[in-house]
Amino acid sequence: MNYQWLLLIYSLPLKASKERVRFWRKLKQLGSVALKNSVYILPYTETSYENFQWLKQEIQTVRGEATLLKVDRIEDVSNEEIIEFFTDERDQDYTQIIRDCEGLLKRLNKLPQKEPSIEQDIIYKELQKVEQRLKVVGKIDFFNAPLRTQANRLLEQCEKKLKGSVRHRKGKIPALLDKKRFANRKWVTRPRPHVDRLASAWLIRRFIDPKAEFIFASEKEIPREVVPFDMLGAELSHQGEDCTFETLVKSFGIKDRTVWEIAKIVHDVDLKDEKYGMQEAKGIEPILRGMMEIHKDDYALLEAGNNFFETLYSGLRRQRSL
């Protein structure tokens, strides 16, 4: 079988240690593998070509050098060997997912069969995260790695264990929440907020609780009489395939069409599954990363995020009216 490959060859300035780690993470997220130091490869598709082009431009913006090549073969390395590099990488990802599923199955087997419990809620949230990771890995499993089937099978076993619970109807949101119950409240989320939490905080203050006060805490240190969001076990968090922003929009019945457009962007940036294919997601992520670099204080970061999403909302709304 004939294959075409994309090679990204790059170098960074010696002092660009943070950028080096950032680009390495992006290359991993794209599913590329290293042929040698600073030489990464992907099977050629229009999407992979576009992704490498974006990355090449980012490397050049930090005064690095990058070359993108499209080739039919690579000397001294067969196509079969290259494919094995990819399947080995993905099997490492699947191995961790398999371990997580096996751990969840053990915990599920110890739960009471008739009555739902708090532990079941916690397991459900963890299972959602595992399911999302499996989807992300599946999108970069270009050659159907051997452990993919086992990972999918174990996830299905976990889901079947939870299927009978009335508290776990996958992807469904309970009856609309009353905004009056959430007026003038303290809202808590995890420290160092990124896209989903920043956007959710803006949404809360803009459409749900204008006088909301925000605090940061770990899942183990949540104060009483606060409303947690985007936290393990919280009602207002990831639900099914929805990010927290989407859950809030649906839970409070927000009909604003521009908000729904932002919800799609936030989903694509946060979950990286390209569910909605929002082109804006590619431009927004580096902006938010830059905000995190500038603002080391979480409250300052939250305010910067609020200003950013208010600006985005106004711009998208105006665009819709043109």
List beta partners, residue 215.
Answer: 188
5-11 and 39-43: which strand pairing?
A: antiparallel
Query: Which run of H or E residues covers position 69?
Result: strand 65-71
**CA separation for the pair 178, 158 (Å, rounded):** 33
Strand pairing class (227-228; 186-189): parallel
Chain segment 261-316, per-residue pLDDT in tens = 999 999 999 888 888 888 888 889 889 989 999 999 999 999 999 999 999 999 99
- What is the DSSP pairing of strand 5-11 with strand 227-228? unpaired
Residue type, 122: I
Query: Which residue is it, tokens 């067969």?
Result: 78
Give the integer Cα–Cα distance in Å for 249 and 262.
10
Q: How remote is the C-alpha of 272 from its chain's centroid?
A: 5
pLDDT digits (tens, 9 = 90+) for 37-70: 889 999 999 989 999 999 999 999 999 999 999 9
- Cβ proximity of 214 and 302 under 8 Å: yes
Residue 8 bridge partners (DSSP): 40, 68
Q: Residues 115-151: pLDDT tens digits? A: 556 677 778 878 888 998 999 999 999 999 999 999 9
Helices (H), strands (E): how many in the chain?
10, 7
